[in-house]
């Protein structure tokens, strides 16, 4: 009987294309879609994304950078709209957690900083993925998962240092290291915001100079503003603030390009804000989500971010980067952050 069937199949096979008999099954589940690595990956993802029509992106990127990335993606993949929700990392985690509890996940792709990626993973809000773009990234930029997959990838970096107005801080008063923050010419000129940025710079000071050094900054009459770190640069541009020790290089450089007196120098240790790319645990639009992750990790997104002066993990730099969350458990990092935040409050003027 088996022999008869074989003869029949051989007889009729010339009448039909070969792919009718050996057609591979296309990925259907989220797990299959997010790890699909065949040559037609982009074609398959784009076809699925056009059918889905939208990708919901949760991001911590500030300013116009996330809007520029959204426009670039929509231009490359017509028919797929980016719906971006921008908030700080802690707010994103709360929103994602509430959506998950309500069994109504909205997020497709996530971009936020390393510390909140740790939280998102701990809460089961993201899933491992694969991408042909990962080959361009150093191993330390990828959070490894089982089976050769990746939980998240650092795709942009911001470098924190001493930002200042050249109109208010003369060249001989610009610090060359943390000790320079104590010089009398900077008294009454510095300001900070009580957020994660100032806390991390306090952590860097403790690592290099010790807690006693940080307490000496109280004598400098440092003011507190309830604005973002980026907004402090705007206050420097307007002349209201002279300097701050937790300014991101990209914010100062973009401001300077617009004609402001803002400038920036690194300290002995440069806290590095690492923006990471992850995939939702249950993306409502899995094809669009995976396609968008590929785009964010690709060269086109990198060029967009470079226009906003963001760094890349593959870059060689003339200063020492420090990732505050690397090598720490979530509990350790939260404990350290609380300590740094407390010290930031103690050294400021009320």
* Closest alpha carbon to 36 in 298, 296, 300, 293: 293
- What stretches of 186-298 show up as alpha helix (H) in DSSP? 196-209, 211-216, 229-238, 249-257, 286-297
70-79, 122-131, 204-213, 226-235: least confidently modelled range: 226-235
Q: Is the pLDDT of residue 15 over 90?
A: no
Query: What token pair was written down for 202?
Result: 């306090």
Q: What is the mean pLDDT of residues 182-207?
A: 94
pLDDT at 177: 96
- Report the C-alpha gap between 149 and 34 in whole angstroms: 10
Residue 277: pLDDT over 60: yes
The pair phi, psi for residue 274, each rounded to 5°, is -105, 110
User: For the residues 20-24, what does the mean pLDDT come to?
Assistant: 50
pLDDT band (50, 70, 90) for residue 13 = very low
Average predicted confidence (pLDDT) for the chain: 91
Provide the strand spans (E) within the chain: 54-59, 81-86, 109-113, 126-127, 142-144, 150-165, 191-192, 223-224, 243-248, 262-265, 270-280, 321-322
pLDDT digits (tens, 9 = 90+) for 318-328: 999 998 888 77
Q: Provide the terminal-to-terminal Cα distance of the chain, rounded to the nearest Å.
A: 92
Closest to 94 (Cα-Cα) out of 111, 116, 63: 116
Residue 110, CA distances (Å) to 84, 89, 161, 171, 296 in order: 10, 10, 27, 41, 10
Q: What average pLDDT does this structure show over 199-219?
A: 96
- What is the model's pLDDT at position 26? 87
**Predicted confidence (pLDDT) at residue 4 exceeds the cutoff of 60:** no
Q: For position 106, what pLDDT does the model report?
A: 94
Q: Confidence class of residue 256 from pLDDT cuts 50, 70 and 90?
A: very high
Domains of the chain (ranges, CATH numbers)? 27-32+39-157+274-314 (3.40.190.10), 158-272+325-346 (3.40.190.10)
Determine the pLDDT at residue 89.
86
Task: Name the percent of the chain lying above pLDDT 70.
Answer: 93
Reported residue count of the chain is 350
């Amino acid at each position: 009987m088996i022999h008869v069937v074989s003869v029949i199949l051989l007889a009729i096979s010339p009448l039909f294309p070969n792919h009718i008999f050996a057609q591979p099954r296309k990925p259907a589940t989220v797990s299959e879609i997010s790890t699909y690595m065949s040559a037609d990956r982009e074609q398959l993802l784009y076809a699925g994304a056009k059918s889905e029509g939208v990708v919901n992106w949760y991001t911590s990127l500030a300013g116009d950078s996330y809007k520029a990335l959204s426009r670039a993606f929509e231009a490359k993949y017509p028919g797929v709209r980016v719906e971006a929700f921008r908030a700080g990392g802690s707010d994103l985690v709360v929103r994602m957690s509430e959506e998950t509890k309500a069994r109504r996940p909205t997020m497709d792709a996530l971009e936020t900083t390393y510390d909140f990626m740790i939280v998102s993973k701990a809460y089961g809000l993201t899933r491992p993925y694969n991408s042909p773009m990962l080959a361009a990234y150093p191993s330390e930029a990828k959070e490894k998962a089982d089976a050769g997959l990746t939980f998240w990838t650092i795709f942009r970096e911001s470098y924190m240092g001493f930002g200042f107005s050249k109109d208010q801080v003369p060249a001989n008063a610009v610090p060359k290291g943390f000790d320079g923050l104590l010089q009398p010419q900077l008294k009454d000129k510095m300001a900070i915001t009580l957020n994660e940025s100032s806390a991390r710079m306090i952590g860097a000071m403790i690592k290099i100079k010790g807690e006693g050094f940080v307490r000496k900054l109280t004598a400098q009459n440092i003011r507190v503003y309830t604005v973002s770190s980026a907004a402090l640069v705007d206050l420097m541009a307007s002349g209201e603030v002279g300097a701050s020790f937790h300014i991101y290089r990209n914010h100062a450089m973009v401001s300077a390009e617009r004609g402001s007196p803002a400038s920036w120098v690194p300290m002995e240790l440069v806290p590095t804000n690492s923006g990471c790319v992850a995939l939702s645990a249950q993306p409502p639009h899995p094809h669009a989500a995976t396609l968008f992750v590929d785009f964010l990790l690709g060269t086109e997104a990198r060029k967009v971010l470079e226009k906003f002066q963001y760094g890349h993990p593959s870059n060689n730099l003339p200063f020492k980067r420090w990732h505050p969350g690397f090598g720490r458990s979530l509990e350790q990092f939260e404990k350290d952050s609380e300590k740094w935040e407390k010290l930031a409050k103690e050294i400021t003027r009320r």
